Chain A
């Protein structure tokens, strides 16, 4: 990200590429660095420090229950976690939730974005009401889902199976978690996609329909390519977000019947098990997963913040 931003003034400014920057440009760049320095320092302080500290903890046997046994053990914790069945089960559950929920959200979000974009009457009302799920605190929403799916107190539990408790069985519990995630974050997806829709020039659509393109052709051949940067950003944001799923699972099943996500089991080992070594190892592994996914999106798919460069809109 930083690389693109640094490159930008150079490319936009000097016409002969290699020509040295003018005095004014150099001053401007220096000022730019000075202006963003405070923000950059704060960022480093609040993100780099905890990351390095967790990494440091992950190399130790450090269990609050046994403070005297603390010692440096290199990568033993990584071997322990990576050879453990619970970790891989949770990893699989997390991936399943991420892939399914993001895919469904993309389709539903696109539909919602089109509706919000096209509505003429009561546009404010439509947009506001579509955003309500996103505005509700996840834990609160999760509790209302939990009660709805609990036999006896809920209206949904007996609708699906007359005498079952859907939250106590693995497949149905996971489906409920995914549904709650989708319900909650589809509006966010729609919002990001709507920003992309605003980039599609009306003239282009009109020209396409003059050429006889059907609605579907206009959507796939004109709108989607123009929206690509926005779609990729939306996917990246939501994938990273879904990967850290915690609150819905914590409230709905608390990880029972192998429904824990990686964040859940990191929490269980850190907070309940007081095992800072193993717990930090999991945190570092989650961080690495997030970093790899972000790398794939940015480098391979060419995701960039909309408007940060011209690459996407060529």
Chain B
């Protein structure tokens, strides 16, 4: 007792020092967050999925900016879902530390509709529109306004074994026929493509619908359509899945499974993104010797296919503290020079047409003519802010593809897509 009362002042003083220390310890990290602008140069945070050699492009842009801004690369997780969830959570909380966003092509409408990204206007807009391929450019539009600038793009091609198939098939029916003949002759016959319950299955479906001239949603993205073309696409999918020409693991296959299966020589055809070329170059040169490529097969002979566009766009966050600099930086990140560098060094097909003429491209992309052909008349995925929900329900209902019942599946898809657009859809 005596002891406790002897130095009340000193004790209180010590407590105060402790409290102050604790307060500083708690506030210090916040202060560090606040002062991200060093010496007057605005720091722009680029939130993007991991891209090989991206830092080189950023360094070049920072150098060219000459003190106007400094881009810092914040690398997002590897899978698309994780990337999107992280960005969306920050944007919903009005996080002003995000400036430039690397978006998957399918997210533009959603982010624009939620007022999370700024519209491109004026000079910056015309710079983006100038020379950019129409298909990728459309993926950055929402309600006829430009919200995201196309960066890299992507389309699937038909890869086939020249030693087994002299002339590449132009339609799905021909391809199935060719495969069946090869099967009868006891040769490698499989048609390999992605059929697991995920985005890849939606891409297949979307390409078929577009090639058949159908629509999944209306052009304004507000109504589910699922017209005759969509039903025809479902019939082709069903026919393909049940004809006995797919790999046994078709309903569980994603991009890499397909690539690996084709490299081991078990398939005669592969429908996949162009990255498989570089992979075959290093891992299966023997197979590559006999591999040809052609336009993705269509539905009717005489009508070329329309395929789904992949790739990514770059947008400026609505909560950025330095929007003007962010637009300039975004322009640099997607400039022709940056796109060429990434096309050659990290295998990302460019969205600016002129880049395809660069001499370095001929070696990295011997199939660039086919890619350009498809890109000039390509299909965006259904353009609605509810795309994420739409994709989830479409993948769920189309899986497994051999269980599709065209008319019935179309009707039930129409209902769930409309529910998704009306915020009434429940995600599984």
Contacts and interface: CB of A to CB of B under 8 A. Distances in A.
Interface string B256-294: 000000000000000000000000000000000000000
A265 interface: yes
A64 B92 contact: yes
A275 B423 contact: yes
A177 to B, nearest CB: 16
B81 A272 contact: yes
A272 B423 contact: no
Contacts of B425: 273, 275, 278
Interface in A11-67: 61, 63-67
A32 B341 CA distance: 72
A161 to B, nearest CB: 15
Interface in B167-213: 197
Interface stretch (A120-128, A195-203, A253-261, A290-298): A253-261
A273 B92 contact: no
Interface string A78-99: 0011001011011000000000
B389 to A, nearest CB: 5
B107 to A, nearest CB: 10
Interface in A142-201: 168
Interface stretch (B32-40, B108-116, B228-236): B108-116
A87 B426 CA distance: 8
A68 B115 CA distance: 10
Nearest to A83: B426
A67 B427 contact: no
Interface residues of A, number: 29
Contact of A271 (B89, B114, B197): B89
Contacts of B428: 86, 89-90, 255, 258, 260, 265, 268
Contacts of B92: 64, 274
B146 interface: no
Contact of A69 (B85, B89, B423): B423
B424 A80 contact: yes
A273 B385 contact: no
Given A66-B113, A260-B428, A271-B89, A278 B423 contact: yes
B128 to A, nearest CB: 24
Given A86-B426, A278-B423, A65 B386 contact: yes
B15 to A, nearest CB: 19
Contacts of A86: 426-428
A273 to B, nearest CB: 5
Interface string B391-428: 01000000000000000000000000000000111111
B57 interface: no
A133 B127 CA distance: 58
Interface string B80-115: 010011001100100000000000000000100111
A306 interface: no
A61 B427 contact: no
Nearest to A268: B427
A81 B89 CA distance: 23
B392, B426, B427 — most chain A CB neighbours (10 Å): B426
A64 B116 CA distance: 10
